Every structure is written in structure tokens, then in C-alpha cells.
Amino acid sequence: MNPGDFILEATDGAARAATLMTAHGAVQTPVFMPVGTVGSVKSVDPDDLDAAGAQIILGNTYHLYLRPGDDLVARRGGLHRFMAWDKPILTDSGGFQVFSLSALRKLTPEGVEFRSHLDGSPHFFSPDKVVSIQRNLGSDIMMVLDECPPYGADRDYAARSLELSAKWAAACRAAYPQGSGGQLMFGIVQGGFFEDLRAESAARTLEIPFEGYALGGLSVGESKPEMLAIMRRTAPLLPRDKPRYLMGVGTPLDILDGIEAGIDMFDCVLPTRNARNGTLFTSRGRVNIKRAEYREDDGPLDPDCSCLACRRFSRAYLRHLYVARELLAYRLNTIHNLHYFLALARGARRAVLEGRFAAYKAGVEAAYGGPQA
């Protein structure tokens, strides 16, 4: 198998189970990808990630370019070697930072002019630049530069933004044509919350040959029904024989809704960030570990979980660690949440392979208070 090969193993409704080949090994989908923005999944190490079952993690172009610098990483032998993670890495292009750091940037047809959030220094990201950075990082999957329009953007804005993203996507591909190396490149569909613009963006993006296609610009503040509607309408427009990636999503229920719609890959900061903020995802639903009710609770966080935190420690102890701001709290909480999200995706894969995805999804929904509106 070669990087970019995508083998569809089973379907259950629109849900799929597949294997994507990369330069650093195979990824079995559906898959959840932990976010490791600056070359580290916050508070855990590569062994923790392995133990949690992580197959592939994210890195970020914008952040690593600013610090420590992609050239420095290249001199260290690339991001995998630098961070001692030898499994696949997907790098986001900085498109999301164009959105989340919007006060510090200016868009032009040629790219994004922005100021570093670290020191205010001016920088410019063109499609070429973003590809060159991701080549230096040596990620297995590069993302094209895109603009993620803010929620509430009007039709006009979304249409112009889509145009910009399509141009940038073509330029990114041109800077790294298919087959020019072992790195894969994914295109990104935008179009805001307008179904016809989503369709147009999909068509424009599909004109360009990518190894995978992503859905961007969701979970930016819209309601659940809005997100689901766009996702359900757009996912089927993406090629069946290529991986489909829903960027930045989501909650356990969002992920299952995505899988049901035919999405293969997900990433989200939710498990890691919420872990550091005391919200844990379990087979029985959310647990806010700082709550007083766990003060003397000797039971495991999640009796159905085999992670380090659940195996060895009580809720009372985890609460104490969190309340006392002990560093161990961040690590254990993160290990647990990643364990949960990764197991969720693995379970979904197994369910698809066995043709019982609907029942699997219903089971999780029951734990999280029923299906989403």
C-alpha cells in the first residue's frame, strides 16, 4: 500500500469503515485525532497517546512556524522526530487561526497578512508558504490554506470567502502536485451556512485532485441543527473513495452524527481542553469532576473505562487533584478523555464492520441525554 491509498472496508448506511495509508502507517477509520497544536498534546506524552489508542494526531502550521520555527523543526529531522511521535501527523494550515485570531489579520487574494499573537511581528501566509512550512514539518497530511468565515457571515461574505479558499486550494495543490512526495494533501470545503454555497465550494474543491476532502467552517457558534443540516447535506457531495474529514468537531454525539453522515475523520480540542477544565466524558455521560458530590466518592470515574485514571484512582482523588490544581490532574483527565474519544471512534468502526452502527449510536445517545435536536 502507498500513502494516499484508501480502502473502504464496510459501510452501514452512509457510515463507513476504511483504512487510509500514510507515510507513517495506516489509519483505521472512523478515527478521532487528538489535537497537539504546538508539537504536544497538552499534558500527555507519546506513550500516553499510544496507550489511549491514538493513531494520528494534529499539529499546527501557524503555531509551529512562529515557534520554534518550521526550519528549526526540519533541522531536527521533522516534526515526528522532534516530538518523538512516529505515527501519522496531520497539520492544519493556519486557516483556523485566520479565523480565531481575526483581529490580528488581513486577507488578500494572495494570502493572509497577520501579526504574531506572541510578539506582534508581521508575517504573511501565502498558499506556497503554508505548503513549504508543512513540508518542513513533514506531516503525513497537509491541509490547504483556507478561510473559515465567522458564524453570522452573510451570503455575500461566504461567497467571496469560498472563492478565496478555492483559489488558495488550487495554489496549494500546484505547490505540491499529487505524487510529488509521500505527504498527502486535503482540500477544504467552505461556504458558510448556505447549502448552495456549500455545494458550490464542494464542486470547486473536487475539481482539484486531493487525497482527501474536509468539511471546514462548522462548530463556529451555530446551533446544533444548523451544523447537522450543513454536514448532512455536504458530506454526500464528497467523493466516496476518498477520506472525508470534519474539521474541529466535536462532542461525542457530534462525532457519531458525523460518522452516520459518512465522515471518516474528526479532530477536536474538546477532550483535551475540557479535561484541563474539569469536564470528563464517560460511558455514563459528562462528569464535572470538581462537583462537591464527588468529594467522598470512592468509585472509579468510569467503571467501563480501562484508562490509567479509571483503573487506579477514585473520583474523590481525581476531584482532589483537580481542585488542588495538581499537575497530575491535567494528565489523568486528559488521558481519560482521549481514551474515551478514541474508544468511541473505535467502537463506531467495529459497529460499522458488524452492521450495527445505529444501535451503537443509540447507546451513546442514551448516556448523553438522547439524540441531538
Residues that bind RNA (CB under 7 A): 35-37, 41-43, 58, 60, 63, 92-93, 95-97, 99-101, 103-104, 117, 143, 146, 148, 188, 190, 214, 216-217, 219-220, 224, 247-251, 254, 267-270, 272-274, 276-279, 288, 290-293, 295, 323, 325, 327, 330
**Residue 300 — φ and ψ, nearest 5°?**
-75, 155
Four-CA torsion 222, 191, 38, 86, nearest 10 degrees: 110
Check if the beta carbon of residue 145 is closer than 8 Å to that of residue 172: yes
Cα–Cα distance, 132 to 189 (Å, whole number): 22
Catalytic residue among 12, 70, 254, 267: 267
Catalytic hit among 92, 146, 257, 302: 92
Using the minimum distance from each CB to RNA, give the nearer residue, 30 or 216: 216
Nearer to RNA, 75 or 295 (CB): 295
**Which CB atom, from 286 or from 356, has the smaller least distance to RNA?**
286
Minimum distance from CB of 10 to RNA (Å)? 26
Q: Which is nearer to RNA, 22 or 93 (CB)?
A: 93
35 CB-near residues (< 8 Å, 6+ apart): 41, 57, 58, 267, 268, 269, 272
d(CA 154, CA 341): 34
Active site includes 86? no
Give the SS3 label for residue 33: strand
- H or E segment and range at residue 282: strand 279-282
Q: How far is the CB of 77 from RNA (least distance, A)?
A: 22
- The C-alpha cell at 334 is 486528559
In whole angstroms, how close is the CB of 76 to RNA at the nearest point? 21
Asked if residue 339 lies in contact with residue 48, where contact means CB atoms within 8 angstroms, the answer is no
Cα distances (angstroms) measured from residue 42 to each of 46, 272, 311, 365: 11, 7, 21, 28
Q: Which one, 10 or 199, has the nearer CB to RNA?
A: 199
CB of 163 to RNA, least distance (A): 15
Cβ 255 to RNA shortest distance, Å: 8
Closest by CA position to 333, among listed 291, 292, 272, 284: 272
- Strand 122-125 versus strand 111-115 pairing type: antiparallel
Active site residue 267: yes
Active-site positions read 92, 267
